[in-house]
């Protein structure tokens, strides 16, 4: 029987997936008998809603499906056996326009996302789910041997710092205590990165199995999945998966028949504070305290939750663990580089044609991710920079676009791998405004414990606000650099230590834009409205008066059918006149590139 599957991850639902599912359910009950099911995000977010049809010939994934298209797919494909090829975005039977997006990926962490119903444990098991833990139990693999597999795989934490996962497990294992904990950090504070949420929504059992394996390796008896409350679908599916695992006795007493291995876990809903991505702040929040970092040492591996040895890994890291144990560390090392093995999930967003989730081997170049998988910049505009590593990451310019994506190479640019946020920018992006945008986020998310982070980020933000408004002063760039370095060196946790990165890397690679804002009072990207001068070309103006009528401050003067003028002292730089002019008569005073060499502070 033909099967029709609708993508109902958060991205699919936001794009109208539920309406499509309801329409298909209606057609199923009135027109034809077919199996209707749901899955989660497959990563092709730019083509949502997605509907997959599986018939006796193969699988066909249809993109940008609405209710009308859903009915057409049922009539043509399900009933008439005629594939609507121009709507198909993925199939093994013929090439599609999205071929590069698909072929450039290697899926390990995302191996099941979009391919199983996340609310059915049987479908996870059919994809070798829980086979890794069964292998450990059946072959009596010792704790130390499991840790060795993880160490040999070379996997590093996918949540930001990139600390070797196996070593983290080893330290927790060596801590002597009758009570130990393991925590999954699913509090995805990075607004540009949604891969953790997608894994939780699309394959929650992989994270649970990773937690069980980690708990066995370090000797933990209890676990916590710390997930922000703003992700209700992820929490709902996690709780369903945990209950199913309990019913299968994969959680509870003598897990998988291993004597003295008792392990259970629960979901702790967090408030979504960015600082709780830091281990000690997360632990404080789980304990019911305000999420604020604590001094280290002692490290969580020695004294963590309730002052007991605790291991913390993020969602993507844990999703890799069952695959590594089942397939071996050598197989994992086939992907990536010597120092950065395996694959990494990135959330492509910004000025990109194919926005969504991609999982690629470490070592791939930034260029390949953006232009092959991501399909390049809309309207073929020039690539300017990419913000890598989330709000506290750094920007990498076009001159470094061939940088391989691995921990060491990315860190060398001044950016960080972070949780995998990748915001692409084109020529219309103002790098001063970009730096201000990300710093504004980290300043607001500061817990306030450190003076350098609490006060320093605010002072940097005030300087950037002045620069963008045309009130920048000589010496502002030096002040930003000095403040940024002080914050990095003296902050207690990773949030403060990386908060200045967007500003420091923007100055490093785009100093001219800061100088243009300060000295010439111009925004080269024509983005900062206070620094844009609107003028009317008298030879093009027909005197239609549309711009004058629309101007909210009555800054445009002129007689009907005669060229108008803009009174600059009154103009508030709103740009409404540009949108109303039908003759392209209103121009923007663009900075002459030849003045670049004159801007030196």
- CATH number for 578: 3.30.70.20
**Calpha distance 307→231 (Å, rounded):** 29
Query: Using H for helix, E for strand and C for coil, what is the string for 419-488?
Result: CCEEEEEECCCCHHHHHHHHHHHHHHHCCCCCHHHHHHHHHHHHHHHHHHCCCCCCCHHHHHHHHHHHHH
Does pLDDT of 515 surpass 80? yes
Do 227 and 82 fall within a single domain?
no
Q: Collapsing DSSP states into helix, strand and coil, what is residue 243?
A: helix
Let me know: does 189 contact 445? Beta carbons within 8 Å.
yes
Q: Is the pLDDT of residue 599 over 60?
A: no
Residue 405 maps to a domain: yes
Question: How many domains are there within the chain?
Answer: 5
78-133 confidence digits (pLDDT tens)? 999 999 999 999 999 999 989 889 888 999 999 999 999 999 999 999 999 999 99
> What pLDDT, on a 0 to 100 scale, did the predictor assign at position 356?
93
Round to whole Å and give the CA distance between 434 and 447.
23
pLDDT band of residue 597 (cuts 50, 70, 90) is very low
Give the pLDDT band (50/70/90) at residue 596. very low
In whole angstroms, give the CA distance from residue 20 to residue 338.
45
CB contact at 8 A, 327 and 342: no
Are residues 247 and 196 both part of a single domain? yes
Task: Based on the fold, state whether residues 163 and 306 are members of the same structural domain.
Answer: yes
Q: How does residue 567 score in pLDDT terms, banded at 50, 70 and 90?
A: very high
Do residues 183 and 265 share a domain? Answer: yes
Lowest mean pLDDT among 28-37, 59-68, 299-308, 405-414: 28-37
Compute the average pLDDT of residues 343-368. 95
Structural domain includes residue 526 = no
Predicted confidence at residue 390, as pLDDT, reads 85
Q: Quote the CA–CA distance of 288 and 39 in Å, as a whole number.
A: 34
Pull the structure tokens for residue 178: 């009758």
pLDDT reported for residue 592: 54
Please tell me whether residues 570 and 485 are part of one structural domain: no
Residue that is written with structure tokens 């504004």 in the block: 440
Task: Output the pLDDT for position 192.
Answer: 42
Q: What is the pLDDT of residue 19?
A: 97
Residue 601 has a pLDDT of 41
HEC per residue, 104-135: CCCCCCCCCCCCCCCCCHHHHHHCCCCHHHHH
For the cut 60, the answer to whether the pLDDT of residue 593 exceeds it is no
Distance CA 305, CA 285 (A): 10
* Residue 106, in any domain of the structure: no
pLDDT, greater one: 188 or 245: 245
Average pLDDT in the 550-574 region? 93
CA 302/CA 170 separation, integer angstroms: 11
- Asked if residue 338 is part of any domain, the answer here is no
Residues 418 and 435 in one domain: no
pLDDT digit string (tens) for 243-278? 999 999 999 999 999 999 999 999 999 888 888 888
The arithmetic mean of pLDDT across residues 54-65, rounded, is 96
Specify whether 126 is located in the same domain as 237: yes
pLDDT score, position 591 = 59
Residue 508 lies in a domain: yes
Query: What's the CA gap between 195 and 193, in Å, rounded?
Result: 6
140 and 232 in a common domain:
yes
191/230 Cα distance (integer angstroms): 12
What range does the domain containing 542 cover?
532-598
Domain boundary among 305, 333, 361: 333
**How confident is residue 600, by pLDDT bands cut at 50, 70 and 90?**
very low
Among 131-135, 195-199, 337-341, 595-599, which is the least confidently predicted range?
595-599
Rg of the chain on CA atoms, in Å: 27
394 in a structural domain = yes
Q: In this structure, what token pair is assigned to residue 105? A: 């990926």
Kindly state whether residues 180 and 313 are assigned to the same domain. Answer: yes
What pLDDT is attached to residue 590?
A: 62
Q: pLDDT by residue (tens digit) across 159-171? A: 877 899 999 999 9
Classify residue 454 by burial, with Cβ atoms within 10 Å: 0-12, 13-18, 19+. Answer: middle
Which pLDDT score, from 0 to 100, does residue 213 have?
98
Q: How far apart are the first and last CA of the chain?
A: 71
Rounded-to-10 torsion of CA 47, 379, 419, 210: 30
pTM comes to 0.92
* 210 within some domain: yes
Check pLDDT > 60 for residue 493: yes
350 in helix, strand or coil?
strand
pLDDT tens digits, 438-478: 999 999 999 999 999 999 999 999 999 999 999 999 999 99
* CA 84 centroid distance within chain: 32
**Cα–Cα dist 412/66, whole Å:** 45
**CATH code of the domain covering residue 453:** 1.20.1440.230
3-state helix, strand, coil in the chain (%, to 5): 45, 15, 40
Domain boundary, last residue among 426, 443, 458? 426
202 and 81 in a single domain? The answer is: no
Which pLDDT score is estimated for 138? 96
Task: Tell me the average pLDDT across 508-532.
Answer: 93
Residue 18 has pLDDT above 50, yes or no: yes
List the beta strands (DSSP E) in 308-374: 310-314, 343-350, 356-361
Is there a single domain that holds both residue 349 and residue 303?
no
């Amino acid at each position: 029987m033909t099967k029709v599957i609708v993508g109902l991850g958060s991205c699919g639902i936001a794009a109208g997936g539920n309406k499509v599912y309801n329409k298909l359910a209606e057609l199923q009950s009135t027109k034809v008998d077919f199996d209707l099911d749901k899955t989660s995000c497959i990563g092709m977010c730019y083509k949502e809603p997605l509907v997959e049809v599986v018939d006796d010939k193969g699988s066909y994934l249809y993109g940008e499906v609405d209710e009308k298209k859903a009915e057409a797919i049922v009539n043509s494909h399900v009933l008439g056996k005629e594939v609507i090829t121009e709507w198909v975005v993925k199939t093994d039977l013929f090439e599609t326009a999205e071929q590069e997006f698909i072929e450039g990926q290697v899926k390990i962490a995302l191996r099941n996302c979009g391919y199983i119903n996340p609310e059915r444990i049987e479908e996870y098991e059919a994809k070798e789910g829980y086979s890794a833990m069964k292998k450990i139990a059946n072959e009596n693999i010792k704790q130390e041997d499991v840790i060795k597999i993880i160490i040999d795989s070379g996997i590093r934490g996918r949540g930001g710092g990139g600390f070797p996962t196996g070593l983290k497990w080893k330290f927790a294992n060596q801590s002597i205590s009758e009570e130990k904990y393991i925590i999954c950090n699913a509090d995805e504070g990075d607004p540009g990165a949604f891969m953790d949420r997608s894994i939780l929504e699309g394959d929650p059992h992989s994270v649970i199995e990773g937690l069980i394996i980690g708990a066995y390796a370090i000797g933990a008896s209890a676990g916590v999945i710390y997930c922000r409350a703003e992700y209700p679908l992820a929490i709902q599916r996690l709780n369903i998966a945990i209950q199913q695992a309990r019913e299968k006795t994969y959680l509870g007493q003598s897990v998988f028949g291993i004597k003295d291995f008792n392990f259970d876990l629960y979901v702790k809903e967090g408030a979504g504070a960015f600082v709780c991505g830091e281990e000690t702040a997360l632990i404080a929040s789980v304990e019911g305290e305000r999420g604020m970092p604590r001094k280290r040492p002692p490290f969580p591996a020695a004294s963590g939750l309730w002052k007991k040895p605790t291991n913390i890994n993020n969602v993507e890291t844990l999703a890799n663990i069952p695959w590594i144990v089942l397939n071996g560390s050598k197989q994992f090392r086939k992907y990536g580089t010597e120092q950065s093995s395996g694959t990494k999930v990135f959330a492509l967003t910004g000025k990109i044609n194919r926005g969504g989730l991609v999982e690629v081997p470490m070592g791939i170049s930034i260029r390949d991710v953006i232009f092959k998988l991501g399909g390049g910049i809309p309207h073929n505009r020039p690539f300017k920079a990419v913000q890598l590593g989330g709000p506290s990451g750094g920007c990498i310019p076009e001159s470094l676009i061939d940088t391989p994506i691995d921990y060491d190479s990315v860190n060398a640019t001044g950016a960080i791998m972070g949780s995998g946020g990748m915001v692409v920018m084109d020529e219309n992006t103002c790098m001063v405004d970009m730096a201000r945008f990300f710093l504004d986020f980290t300043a607001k998310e500061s817990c306030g414990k450190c003076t350098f982070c609490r006060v320093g980020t605010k002072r940097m933000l005030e300087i950037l606000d002045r620069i963008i408004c045309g009130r920048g002063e000589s010496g502002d760039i030096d002040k930003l650099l000095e403040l940024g370095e002080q914050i990095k060196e003296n902050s207690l946790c990773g949030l403060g230590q990386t908060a200045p990165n967007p500003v420091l890397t923007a100055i490093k690679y785009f100093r001219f834009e800061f100088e243009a804002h300060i000295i010439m009072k111009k925004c080269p990207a024509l983005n900062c409205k206070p620094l844009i001068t609107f003028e009317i070309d008298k030879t093009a103006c027909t005197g239609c008066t549309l711009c004058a009528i629309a101007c909210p401050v009555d800054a445009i003067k002129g007689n009907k059918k005669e060229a108008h003028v803009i009174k600059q002292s009154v103009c508030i730089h709103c740009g409404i006149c540009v949108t109303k002019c039908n003759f392209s008569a209103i121009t923007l005073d663009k900075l002459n590139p030849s003045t670049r060499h004159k801007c030196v502070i």
